[in-house]
C-alpha cells in the first residue's frame, strides 16, 4: 500500500450541518460531527479522545471556548455508555477515555469508533479552534499503541503506530 493510500485510509471524516437557532442574536448553530476511523481495542488497552482549543482569547472580547461531546460506539454503531460533554477554554485540553472493560465486549478484541460533536453559533459568541486526537494505549503501562490526529499547523492528519 502506498503512503498516500495509507494516509487516505486514516483520514478523519467530518460532516457539518446548520441548525436554525431560536431567539436572541444567534442566526444559526453549526453542529460538526468528526468521526475517527474504527480502531481495534484489545483486553489490555484503553482508547482515548483528546480535544484542545487553540483559539486565542481576544483582549476585551469574549473568552475563547469550544463546547461539544465525545462519543464512543461499537462495531454495530451503538453508543457505548453516554456521550461525554466538554467545554475547553483557550489552551485547555479535555480527554475522554474508554477502557476495554467498559466496551461491552468480552471476545478479546473490540472495534471502536470515536467521534466528536462540536457546536458553534453564528455569529460566533466565542473563538473556537479544535485540535483533536484519538489514541489507544496499554492500560497498565500507558504506552501508546495507535495515535490518530489532526495536525495543529496544517490540519493534515498525523498517523503514528506502535510507539514504545
Q: What is the pLDDT of residue 80?
A: 95
Q: Give residue 127's pLDDT.
A: 87
What pLDDT is attached to residue 25? 61
8 A C-beta contact, residue 139 and residue 48: no
Q: Please tell me the predicted confidence (pLDDT) of residue 58.
A: 85
**Res 122: pLDDT:** 66
> Which set of grid coordinates corresponds to residue 139?
492500560
Full DSSP string of 43-109: TTEEEEEEEEE-PPPPTTSPPPEEEEEEEEE-TTSPEEEEEEEEEEETT-EEEEEEEGGGTT--SSE
| Predicted pLDDT of residue 9 | 34
In the chain, where the domains are located: 3-161
Q: What is the pLDDT of residue 24?
A: 54
The whole-angstrom separation of Cα 118 and Cα 120 is 7
What cell numbers appear for 90 in the block?
Answer: 483557550
Q: Which residues of the chain have pLDDT under 70?
A: 1-28, 122-124, 151-164
C-alpha cell at 29: 448553530
Nearest of 120, 65, 60, 68 to residue 90 by alpha carbon:
65
Asked whether the bond before 123 is cis by omega within 30 degrees of 0, the reply is: yes
DSSP helix/strand/coil, 8: helix
3-161 carries CATH number 2.40.30: no
Amino acid at each position: 500500500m502506498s503512503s498516500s493510500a495509507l494516509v487516505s485510509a486514516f483520514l478523519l471524516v467530518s460532516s457539518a450541518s446548520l441548525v436554525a437557532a431560536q431567539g436572541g442574536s444567534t442566526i444559526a448553530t453549526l453542529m460538526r460531527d468528526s468521526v475517527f476511523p474504527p480502531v481495534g481495542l484489545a483486553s489490555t488497552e484503553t482508547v482515548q479522545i483528546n480535544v484542545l482549543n487553540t483559539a486565542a482569547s481576544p483582549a476585551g472580547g469574549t473568552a475563547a471556548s469550544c463546547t461539544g461531546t465525545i462519543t464512543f460506539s461499537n462495531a454495530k454503531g451503538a453508543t457505548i455508555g453516554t456521550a461525554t460533554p466538554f467545554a475547553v477554554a483557550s489552551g485547555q485540553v479535555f480527554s475522554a477515555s474508554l477502557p476495554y472493560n467498559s466496551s461491552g465486549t468480552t471476545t478479546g478484541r473490540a472495534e471502536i469508533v470515536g467521534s466528536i460533536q462540536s457546536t458553534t453559533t453564528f455569529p460566533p459568541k466565542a473563538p473556537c479552534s479544535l485540535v483533536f486526537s484519538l489514541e489507544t494505549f496499554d492500560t497498565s503501562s500507558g504506552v501508546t499503541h495507535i495515535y490518530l490526529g489532526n495536525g495543529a499547523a496544517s490540519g493534515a492528519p498525523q498517523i503514528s503506530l506502535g510507539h514504545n
